[in-house]
Chain A
Amino acid sequence: MNYNWNWGVFFQTIPAGDETYLTWVIHGLGWTIAISLCAWVIALVLGSIAGTLRTVPNKKLAFIGHTWVEFFRNVPLLMQLFLWFFVVPELLPRDLAMWVKQDMPAKEFLTAVVALGLFTSARVAEQVRAGIQALPRGQRNAGLALGLTQTQTYRFVLLPMAFRIIIPPLTSEFMNAFKNSGVAYAVGVWELVFVSRQMVEETGGQVIESLIVPTVLYIVCAYAANRVMAVIESRAHVPGFIVAK
């Protein structure tokens, strides 16, 4: 296997313009982080709501939570992204559709955030539900017996414990948010996968360099996400309840 290493490729300027590939990679990293973090916020908020709804006694609300999860979990992420990007604008009222297609700022970025956020929210919802169901039934009953309302029982008794229980699986979902953010390239966001592909094509043969830097950056992002969650886990630890390593 003959391969000509040339790490200098990152300091070459791109064909059109005077930026170097290094600045491209940095921009790419920025977009990847932006997409992942924004999507994670959406996923956490909506996932918590949907997951909680699945456990409430009210059948209608539980059904809404259930439908939410099944819908966003059973269609591949890339397909969902295309649905948001190509299909949803067509189904909007005419004026709104025109605005979305022509004037909407940062359309690609926002679509990617929404798609990744909703996709991840279904996974978060499953974890939240599992966390709530893992609690002893007595906790809910005790809360209600004390005179707390259903909402108060969730707010003060069930959810604080459930969220602590599910921090480990949430950690891997957070890492997945970074790993999955790469699909955004398909609608033209200049994130790491996009930069990587572009570099492979333009630098003519510097395949390994073009791939390895984004790959390492992804690993670093996922690892950072892991560490942040580990700090949260140890801070949120309830003495005597959950054994934190």
Chain B
Amino acid sequence: MLGTLDFSVIPLAMPAILKGLWFSLELTVIAMIGGVILGTLLALARLSGGKFIGGAAKVYVDLMRSIPLLMMILWFFFLIPFVTGQPIGQNKSAIITFTLFQAAFYSEIMRAGIQSIPRGQVNAALAIGMTYWQTMGYVVLPQAFRNMVLVLLTQTFILFQDTSLVYAIGATDLLKAAENAGMLYGRTVEMYLFVSVIYFAICFSLSMFVKYMNKRIAIIR
């Protein structure tokens, strides 16, 4: 019953929880930055018109999008040691998995963003003598990013929630830290409740922020 809950365990467990939260955030931020860069390259590859490179990018994106993330986490965790010859640890494995996995999702967003730029702009840039990379770097991508920034943020918020899945390989993220602390102090219920509140607070404020920005940007357009 509620009366038997003892939340005095929270201050004791706080350092461990913060460490877990830090890893969750670190994983989110690294996977976001890496994912957006890789995703943009994948999107450019798909739109480049090249048969081989475009096809390869499409296969990669479709494959990543059709495999459950949980399976992907296991794949990388068990396979990287085979490729490199030595285990690299749960945390690094998680970072690699999330970056490569999220790249597929970010690439679809970036593709939509790039396609939202009128074709005439590309032609105009090429006509005044810009190279392909200059056209992309100075004309297309800055606008594509700006058009898609909120969708990218929404994807990042999904990414943050998904980081809890690294539980499967025993990396100590926020959820795992809560479990460990709960076991250590024999207060699993309280720890789970507390961490749910943290997750909720972060995700809720992020989604509120996206909603607020959506309204502001809608007026400017």
Chain A positions within 8 Å of B, measured between CB atoms, are 1, 3, 70-71, 73-80, 82-83, 86-87, 90-91, 93-94, 178-180, 182-183, 185-186, 193, 196-197, 200, 207-208, 211, 214-215, 218-219, 222-223
Contacts and interface: CB of A to CB of B under 8 A. Distances in A.
Interface in B66-86: 66-71, 74-75, 78-79, 82-83
Given A76-B164, A193-B74, A208-B79, A180 B189 contact: no
B167 interface: yes
Given A76-B162, A79-B175, A207-B82, A70 B204 contact: yes
A80 B197 CA distance: 11
A74 B199 contact: yes
A208 B162 CA distance: 24
B71 A211 contact: yes
B204 A182 contact: no
B127 interface: no
Given A79-B175, A91-B1, A182-B71, A86 B189 contact: yes
Contacts of B188: 86
Interface in B53-98: 66-71, 74-75, 78-79, 82-83
B65 to A, nearest CB: 9
B74 A75 contact: no
A222 B66 contact: yes
A75 B74 CA distance: 23
Given A1-B83, A87-B189, A182-B68, A74 B1 contact: no
A61 B219 CA distance: 29
Interface of B: 1-2, 66-71, 74-75, 78-79, 82-83, 161-165, 167-168, 175, 179, 188-189, 192-193, 195-196, 199-200, 203-204, 207
Q: Which of B162, B164, B179, B195: most chain A Cβ within 10 A?
A: B164
Nearest to A181: B68
A82 B192 contact: yes
A75 B192 contact: no
Contacts, number: 102
Contacts of A223: 66
Contacts of A82: 175, 179, 192
A91 B192 CA distance: 13
Given A86-B192, A94-B1, A197-B74, A215 B199 contact: no
B189 A90 contact: yes
B207 A215 contact: no
Q: Which of B78, B175, B204: most chain A Cβ within 10 A?
A: B78
A82 B175 CA distance: 10
Contacts of B195: 79
A196 B161 CA distance: 23
A75 B168 CA distance: 18
Contacts of B163: 76
A185 B165 CA distance: 11
8 contacts: A74-B207, A75-B161, A78-B175, A79-B195, A90-B1, A207-B82, A218-B68, A219-B67
A74 B203 contact: yes
A240 to B, nearest CB: 28
Nearest to B160: A76
Contacts of A94: 1
A87 B71 contact: no
Contacts of A76: 161-165, 175, 199
B196 A75 contact: yes
Contact of B161 (A77, A185, A200, A207): A77
Contacts of B79: 207-208, 211
B1 A93 contact: yes
B18 to A, nearest CB: 17
Given A76-B175, A76-B199, A94-B1, A196 B192 contact: no
A182 B203 CA distance: 22
Contact of A182 (B70, B164, B192, B207): B70
Contact of A79 (B69, B74, B192, B207): B192
A74 B179 CA distance: 19
A178 B163 CA distance: 19
